A and B are shown apart, each in its own frame.
Chain A
Amino acid sequence: MHWWFPSNASSVGGQVDSLFYVILYITGAVFVLVEAGLLVFLVRYRRRDGRRATYVEGSTRAEIIWTTIPAVILVSLALFSQPLWSRIKSADTYPPNADHLAVEAKQFEWRVTYPGPDGKLGTDDDFMQKDELHLVVNHDYVIDLTSRDVVHDFFIPAFRIKQDAVPGMLIKVWVRPTVVGTYELACAELCGLGHYRMRAQVVVQTDSDYAAWLRSQGQATSSAPAASPTAQEGTP
């Protein structure tokens, strides 16, 4: 039974997880302290006949303490989160030598455009593959994410990456897979009746496996386009 994070397979996932654990430990400690305090008070100061509550209206010192401490912890958390965030999402900090791919979301499929053998998007040898995203391990990619119809969301849980695909916008998403394997790409924004089956495979391969796949694509594109594994209706 695996009831926790899917194992991480990207360059940023580890840092996202660490930040999650930092917040988990801080909030966990606060949770235990405050709820325990609440329970202790409930037991200790439960109603007993002949005893009166103490008439206390407040304490300025206490107010200052419990305003300052949470404020300091929370603001440092924000400062701590900021660098990782801008590294993941600010397009001007992306690695300049990254490979480019284009992903277009549409109801209810992911259309991935590969640059083909020349490595450039927008040339004649580009080819499109539905619902399959092939990546070379330890390579930087910048994905041009668009949507043809409604708002979708590009979510690869194993990479900890999530980004809405918005019609009318081109959003650049940086990924760097670090572990060879097959993962899932999910749509994480309600996009219509087939939303739940808007799923694609992410295949992270070694350089040579990728090259072999690329060659096979050169042959396949001349014949019929690859069938989408999720093209059929779901259960009912």
Chain B
Amino acid sequence: MTAHAEAVAHAAHDDRSFIRKYVFSTDHKTIGIQFLFLSLFFLLVGGLLAMGIRWQLGFPGQAMPLGGWLPQSVAPGGVVAPKTYNSLVTMHGTFMIFFAVMPLLVGVFANYLIPLKIGAPDMAFPRLNMWSFWLMIPSGGLMLASLFVLGGSSAAGWTVYAPLSATPDYSGVHLGQQLWCLSIVIFGLSSLLGSVNYITTVVNLRAPGMTWFRLPLSVWALFITAVLAILAVPILAGAVIMLLFDQTIGTHFFQPDVGGQPLMWQHLFWFFGHPEVYILILPAMGIASDIIANGARKPIFGYSSMVYAMIAIAFLGFVVWGHHMFQSGMNPTLASTFMVSTIVIAVPSAIKVFNWLGTLWRGNIHFTTPMLNALAFVSMFIIGGLSGIFMASTPVDMYIHGTYFIVAHIHYVLFGGSLFAVFAGIYFWYPKMFGRQMSERWGKVHFALTFVFYNLTFFPMHILGIGGEMRRIYDPTVYDFLRPLQPINVFITINAFLLGLSQLVFAANFIGSLFKGEKAERNPWRDTGLEWTTASPPPHGNFAETPHVYHGPYEYSVPGMDDDFLPVTTPPTGRAA
């Protein structure tokens, strides 16, 4: 491969200027790390907005600590105003989904891991890749700017249901909603450029011997995710452009008085939105699979059924969107069809959980910080998966739809699932990214605090939902039937603050280890993967010479070997020695 030869030549003398190396870099590793810093920043923004939501729900109508610093129009006397509350809810969801969790999983790990894990010197389209990061700057910048414009940011929920979102008369939001639309369109472009790149890279740039069924599950997951994104994101972009036209040039696509259809927005949004849910969980599943095999020192149980389960999830993910719309006025018979497909998609998820348990069975489990987070991912995903079955049953959904039960469910999947896997992945690949180890001790402290406060925050939300508390309600004490539930809200709020504070441990460990962390060796976790055969951090071009792959990705505890792991690059003769 000539690309390899060139990369090797580059690696020998890396004479890129500072700007080319660290700012407008085409190196997939730098881009992955840029995505990491950017999306951790947005995770912080989304988290702070959540604190505002929790304050108002726990202590409605009381002045927020530091609330006096906010402008009177946003928080009169330090008390969150109703419209501000709707903006908080909307922007928390928007930042977390589009700018934190999705780039953390895809932007960071697809960029950083795919070339390293398949033995490529870089991505197939390095310049497109650079664009996919740099488009996130105007996209995220516009979204941030929308918080500060006259009329406030979008306040129609992260699902921005029309016609509320389409008409400033109904929402009181003018420029904020338009900026939201522009930002999401640019975000979509970034996501598409990235996805094209990931797909092409996995198809074309695998090292010799790296067959499809020797790909680590993380690469499979990221590949399938990229396919999902490329099919789903254009639908979102199209719908959002129509919404923008409704707001700005009077097209009325979603307004019924002049022939538009409010339900069409919901169909388009969820046609994207449900595959998006799997975009947010599949990479987490892949990352957790890699780390669990490593931690258990065992091959992943049922590798091929893990791959087929992910492919099944990807296909079925496109035919379940209607379950978000059971109570929307959609034909009830159509809802029954969506109930069946939704029920069926639970099966591959169950298969994955059982295979993770099978991997742990008769293992030799090392409780490292990444492993603890990956195990938390599995146990929390079980809860999130099971609570989803309640919503899949249309009559039960009728009661719990739009209540805190669904808020609990989404957070068990997206925080308990995706974010724990993100933490696992950061702790695991940090030494490869930065050449230094994060502190294991503080990592475990962070894990324990997060796990406890996370559950104390989100589990009681199931009870609120069963009690009937609606989501996105500024002040639940307005309702007689919700007033008895208020102590639960106070309890949740206190734990949410503690959960937020616990992340300071992570931040300190992350930043401190950049400078003071113990120097990392090539393969600190004694892993079989290709990325661990090169230096930490890997040089420009990744590998000194093109690696050759001889084994599957999870050869741990192979009988007859001294070491309990067999790197994929060890020639077969090495096994006898």
Contact-size category for B? 35 or more
A47, B365: Cβ atoms under 8 Å?
Answer: yes
Question: Does B403 have its Cβ within 8 Å of any Cβ on chain A?
Answer: yes
Question: Does more than half of chain A's interface fall in helix, strand or loop, or is it mixed?
Answer: mixed
Contact A52 B364 (CB under 8 A): yes
A64 vs B145: C-alpha distance in the bound complex, in angstroms? 52
Q: Does A171 contact B (CB under 8 A)?
A: yes
Q: Which residues of B contact A81 (CB under 8 A)?
A: 339, 393-396
Report if B211 contacts A (CB, 8 A).
Answer: no
User: Within 8 Å of chain B (Cβ to Cβ): is A129?
Assistant: no
The stretch from A66-74, A114-122, A136-144, A209-217 touching chain B is A66-74
Question: With the chains together, A152 CA to B149 CA distance in Å?
Answer: 27
Least CB distance, B484 to chain A, in whole angstroms: 5
Q: Which of A12, A63, A155 contacts B470, CB < 8 Å? A: A155
Interface presence of B543 (CB below 8 A): no
Residue of A nearest to B341 (CB): A78
**CA distance in complex: A56, B357 (Å):** 13
Contacting residues of chain A (129-176) with chain B, CB-CB under 8 angstroms: 149-151, 153, 155, 157-158, 160-164, 166-169, 171
B367 on the A face (CB < 8 A) = yes
Q: Which residues of chain B in 341-372 are interfacial with respect to chain A, using CB atoms and an 8 Å cutoff?
A: 343-344, 346-347, 350-351, 353-355, 357-358, 360-367
Q: How far is the CB of A188 from chain B (nearest CB, A)?
A: 4
A13-53 near B? 1/0 per residue, CB < 8 Å = 00110011001101100110011011001100111100111
Cα A41 to Cα B89 in complex, Å, equals: 40
Q: Are A86 and B336 in contact (CB under 8 A)?
A: yes
Residues of B within 8 A of A37 (CB): 357
Question: In the complex the two chains form, is B332's CB within 8 Å of A193's CB?
Answer: no
Q: Are A34 and B353 in contact (CB under 8 A)?
A: yes
Contact of B336 with A167 in the complex, beta carbons under 8 Å = no
Q: A5-B466, A23-B393, A88-B398 are in contact. Are A192 and B164 (CB under 8 A)?
A: yes
- Contact A190/B156 with A31-B382, A45-B296, A184-B481 known, Cβ cut-off 8 Å: yes
B401 touches A74 (CB 8 A): no
What 1/0 mask marks residues of chain B from 469 to 484 whose CB sits below 8 Å from any chain A CB? 0101111101111001
Of B35-43, B419-427, B529-537, B552-560, the one contacting chain A is B552-560
Q: In whole angstroms, how far apart are the Cα atoms of A194 and B488 in the complex? A: 24
Task: Contact check, A163 vs B170: say whether CB atoms are below 8 A apart.
Answer: no
CA of A171 to CA of B263, assembled, Å:
13
Q: Is the CB of A168 within 8 A of B262?
A: yes
B302 close to A162 (CB less than 8 A):
no
CB distance from A227 to the nearest CB of B (A): 17
* Residues of B231-288 contacting chain A, CB below 8 A: 255-257, 260-263
Q: A172-213: which have CB < 8 Å to B?
A: 183-184, 186-197, 199
**Within 8 Å CB of A162, what residues of B?**
327, 398-399, 401-402
CB of A163 within 8 A of CB of B329, answer yes
Q: Quick one: given A38-B360, A191-B164, A195-B86, are A67 and B395 in contact (CB under 8 Å)?
A: no
Q: A139: shortest Cβ distance to chain B, in Å? A: 21
The distance in angstroms between the C-alpha atoms of A230 and B479, with both chains bound, is 11
| Chain A contacts with B in 72-106, Cβ cutoff 8 A | 74-75, 77-78, 81-82, 84-86, 88-90
- Distance A52 CA – B558 CA, assembled complex (angstroms): 9
The complex places the Cα of A220 from the Cα of B353 at a distance, in Å, of: 63
Q: How far is the CA of A54 from the CA of B354 in the complex (A)?
A: 17
Q: How far is the CB of A74 from chain B (nearest CB, A)?
A: 5
Q: Determine if B479 and A195 form an interchain contact, defined as CB atoms under 8 angstroms apart.
A: no
A59 within 8 A of B: yes
Task: Say whether, besides A52-B297, A195-B474, A163 and B327 are in contact (CB < 8 Å).
Answer: yes
Closest chain B residue, CB of each to CB of A71: B347
Stretch at the interface among B76-84, B101-109, B189-197, B448-456: B76-84
Tell me whether A235 is interfacial, beta carbon within 8 Å: yes
Q: Are A160 and B398 in contact (CB under 8 A)?
A: yes
A88: which B residues are within 8 A, CB to CB? 395, 398
Q: Is B73 an interface residue (CB 8 A)?
A: no
- Tell me if A1 and B484 are in contact (CB < 8 A): yes
- Give the complex CA separation of A46 and B365 in angstroms: 5
B137 contacts partner chain A, Cβ-Cβ < 8 Å: no
Contact, CB under 8 Å: A150 / B467: no
Cα A43 to Cα B83 in complex, Å, equals 50
Given the known A-B contacts A19-B395, A193-B86, are A199 and B478 also in contact in the complex, defined by CB atoms under 8 Å?
yes
Partner of B386, one of A27, A188, A199: A27
Q: In chain B, what residue has the closest Cβ to A230?
A: B478
CB of B163 within 8 A of CB of A85, answer no
Across-interface contacts of A107 in B (CB, < 8 A): 170
Contact with A along B369-412 (1 / 0, CB 8 A): 00000010011001100110110111110110111000000000
Q: How far is the CA of A99 from the CA of B215 in the complex (A)?
A: 64
Q: Which residues of A lie under 8 Å from residue B396 when comparing CB positions?
A: 16, 19-20, 23, 81
Q: How far is the CB of A33 from chain B (nearest CB, A)?
A: 10
* Nearest B residue (CB) for A49: B364
Residues of B within 8 A of A197 (CB): 475, 478
Q: In the complex the two chains form, is B362's CB within 8 Å of A31's CB?
A: no
In the complex, A224 Cα to B570 Cα: how many Å? 89
B20 to chain A, nearest CB (A): 44
Q: Considering only CB atoms, which chain B residue lies closest to A167 in the complex?
A: B256
Query: By the criterion CB–CB under 8 Å, are B398 and A161 in contact?
Result: yes
Q: Is B209 an interface residue (CB 8 A)?
A: no
Between-chain CB contacts (< 8 Å), 19 pairs: A12-B395, A20-B390, A23-B389, A23-B390, A53-B556, A54-B557, A55-B298, A55-B559, A57-B302, A59-B358, A74-B343, A86-B336, A89-B394, A162-B399, A168-B261, A188-B403, A189-B402, A190-B164, A195-B473
A30-B386, A78-B339 are known contacts; what are 18 more A-B pairs with Cβ within 8 Å?
A19-B393, A20-B399, A23-B396, A31-B382, A35-B382, A53-B364, A57-B302, A77-B392, A81-B395, A151-B262, A155-B470, A157-B399, A160-B399, A162-B327, A167-B255, A168-B256, A169-B256, A196-B476
Shortest Cβ-Cβ A-B pairs, 4 listed: A168-B256, A157-B468, A89-B332, A58-B302
